[in-house]
Amino acid sequence: MSAWAEQEASGLPSVDVVANPYRDALNGGAHALDGGGTIHIVDVTGRVPPVTCDVRQWMAEPTPSDRSILDLVDGPILDVGCGPGRMLQAARDRALEAVGVDLNPEAAGLARSRGDRVLEQSVFAPIAGRWNGFLLIDGNIGIGGDPLQLLRRLRRLAHRGARLLVETDRQEHLEEHYQAVLCDEGGRCGEQFAWSRVGAHPLRRLARAADWTPVSEHRIDERTISVLSAS
């Protein structure tokens, strides 16, 4: 049994604040694409099942489904939690103006190395201008552990008629808010952060409360994308 499997079976992860699994996976660079690069978002109480994230996919070229998602939005786009810039590259390939925002310096640096513009900061820090499109992809509706606050923040940055694309959880009715840690395959976990998982059904309620209008939902290669409008 792997260290991660043992930890998952026992419930609570052993938190090592020196560990930074996301940074380590990103710093693997090309090696992360050959093997490894898997991290897990783990509820510290064990109440919510872990979410497995493949950092190799985030660092790879945009997929056909990534490119299809961008057919639903116009620029300029703010990609919230852009990571190493996969969706920014997809936007660039579509000739869409896009800027990323990400707190992680390694992720922001990788995105810049691909030729992307990235704000290395929290989405809740000051951001100039107004935007026609927003991306919350790869579960990033969970950022900050308070989806309503996040949706309200983006609404204040939106032009009238702007569209926000949210990739929701596969469980349509799921809504969970919790303290989480990132763990690697070796069972090393970092410090706690607030996170959420939201399905398409509760997102509609949260969107309306934040002055967004739910427009449509799309199934793209087993991904669920909700389109919200700043009407």
The confidence score (pLDDT) of residue 124 equals: 97
131: exposed, middle or buried (C-beta count within 10 Å: 0-12, 13-18, 19+)? buried
Helix (H, G, I), strand (E, B) or coil at 222: coil
pLDDT at 2: 40
Q: How would residue 16 be classed by pLDDT, with cut points 50, 70 and 90?
A: low
User: Residues 10-17: what's their mean pLDDT?
Assistant: 54
Nearest to 123 by CA among 148, 144, 96, 98: 144
Place of tokens 């604040």: 17
Q: Which structure tokens are listed for 93?
A: 């390939």
How sure is the predictor about 15, in pLDDT bands with cuts at 50, 70 and 90?
A: low
Lowest mean pLDDT among 22-26, 35-39, 67-71, 130-134: 35-39
Judged against a pLDDT cut of 60, whether residue 153 lies above it is answered with yes
In the numeric block, which tokens belong to residue 28?
Answer: 């693997």
Domain extent for 133: 3-229
Tally of CB atoms within 10 A around 80: 24
Residue-by-residue DSSP string for 17-75: TT--HHHHHHHTTHHHHHS--EEEEEETTS-SPPEEEEHHHHHSPPPHHHHHHGGG--S
Name the pLDDT band for 186 (thresholds 50, 70, 90). Answer: confident
Per-residue pLDDT at 231: 87
* Angle, in degrees to the nearest 10, between helices 147-156 and 200-209: 50
DSSP state of 189: B
Q: If you search the block for the tokens 């990534």, which residue do you land on?
A: 66
Could you report the per-residue pLDDT of 51-60, keeping only the tens digit for each? 999 998 999 9
CATH number at residue 110: 3.40.50.150
Would you say residue 204 has pLDDT above 80? yes
Predicted local distance difference test score (pLDDT) of residue 3:
44
Neighbours of 140 (CB within 10 A): 19
Mean pLDDT computed over every residue of the chain: 90
Q: In what order do the strands lie in the sheet with 77-80?
A: 117-119, 98-101, 77-80, 131-136, 158-168, 223-229, 213-220
Whether residue 70 has pLDDT greater than 60:
yes
At residue 62 the predicted structure's pLDDT band, cuts being 50, 70 and 90, is very high
Two tokens at 31?
Answer: 């090696």
pLDDT band at 13 (very low <50, low <70, confident <90, very high): low
pLDDT score of 12 more than 80: no
Count: domains in the chain = 1
